[in-house]
Amino acid sequence: MLWGGEDEGAPGHRSYQPLDCKRYANSSKRTTVRARSVVVAVLLCSSIGLSPPQAAAEDWGEEARREMVETIRAIATEVGPIGGRSVISETVLEAMAAVPRHRFVPDEIERMAYQDRPLPIGYGQTISQPYFVALMTDILNLQGDETVLEVGTGSGYQAAVCGRLAARTYTMEIVPELATRSANTLTELGFHTVVVRQGDGYYGWPEHAPFDAIIVTAAASHVPPPLIDQLKPGGRMVSRSAGLSLFSSCCASTRRPTAPSAPDNCCRSASYR
């Protein structure tokens, strides 16, 4: 049954004005068009396995990741060569564009996830700014067949990026709650080649050594000797340490085959403010 607009009546009672059929016919056409549009949208979302809210979220994330990648390109151009790399490789940028960074931050700051800045993830830890994630990953020069060790899982975002570029990624986090959360997030997103372990990364993960590449995302004053021992000859290690003032330093080392007990002495390093 069709009714017109509501009119005021006695308390607890509704009376109705007569329906303007001509006006309704015009509005009905518009409503039908809108309804058809909604149906088409729902069918489209269903065909790719998404509900309408999920589809909207995915669209937002994709656009935000594209903007993030362009920001990384601009910063790389401004800063210039670091770690022997003049630009961030397209392979790394494609990985950054594919990983939903907003899934690795608390819900209340989800919309800030793609800004080029570190964000708090709880327990006194942060997720690194996208530029530094891209830079450190790029310096590792991953080709797709490597086994990687990451020290300092944090949110799990860096491990996810490495997971798209390497054959296997092992990552260690000393904070139990973060280790559990990051492992759950990585599993939910299908990163089955990334393995999380709760523990002190200073001593590495000898059961899976030697590693083709090691990335130390947790700030450290020096490179732990056990990590050097677990790096393959010719392997690459990139580490990050807190510098003075607002500076952060990034140091890349290559282990010499002729001197397996020690890497090159910070052969390429740079600072970005």
- What is the Cα–Cα distance from 89 to 101, expressed in whole angstroms? 19
Per-residue pLDDT of 154-185, as tens digits, reads 999 999 999 999 999 999 999 999 999 999 99
Q: Which of 4-13, 16-25, 56-65, 166-175 has the highest mean pLDDT?
A: 166-175
What does the alpha-carbon distance between residue 66 and residue 93 come to, in Å, rounded to a whole number? 10
Q: Which residues of 124-146 are buried (b: 16+ CB within 10 A; e: fewer)?
A: ebebbbbbbbbbbbbbbbbeeeb
Amino acid code (one letter) for 259: A
Q: Could you give the CA distance from residue 107 to residue 88 in angstroms, rounded to a whole number?
A: 29
Q: Is residue 125 part of a domain?
A: yes
Q: How many helices (H) and strands (E) does the chain have?
A: 7, 11
Answer for the pair 118, 147: CB distance below 8 angstroms, yes or no. Answer: no
What tens digit of pLDDT does each residue of 204-249 get? Answer: 999 999 999 999 987 777 889 999 999 999 999 998 765 432 223 4
Mark whether 128 is an active-site residue. Answer: yes
Query: How high is the mean pLDDT of the chain?
Result: 77
239, part of any domain: yes
- More confidently predicted of 80 and 157: 157
CATH number of the CATH domain containing 181: 3.40.50.150
Question: Which pLDDT band holds residue 192 (cuts at 50, 70, 90)?
Answer: very high
The residue annotated as part of the active site, out of 37, 128, 261, 269, is: 128
Q: Which of residues 209 and 84 earns the better pLDDT score?
A: 209
* Contact between 115 and 101 (Cβ < 8 Å): no
Task: Indicate whether 251 belongs to any domain.
Answer: yes
Residue 67 lies in a domain: no
Q: Residue 43: enclosing H or E segment and its boundaries?
A: helix 21-47
Residues of the domain holding 227 = 81-272
Our count of domains for the chain comes to 1
* Antiparallel, parallel or unpaired: β 125-127 and 119-122: antiparallel
Specify the DSSP element, H or E, that contains 162: helix 157-163
Q: So what's the pLDDT on residue 179?
A: 98
**Is residue 102, in this structure, part of any structural domain at all?**
yes
Which segments of 22-134 are extended strands (E)? 119-122, 125-127
Q: Is 33 inside a domain boundary?
A: no
User: What is the distance between the terminal CA atoms of the chain, rounded to a whole angstrom?
Assistant: 68
Question: pLDDT tens-digit profile of 96-131?
Answer: 999 999 999 999 999 999 999 999 999 999 999 999
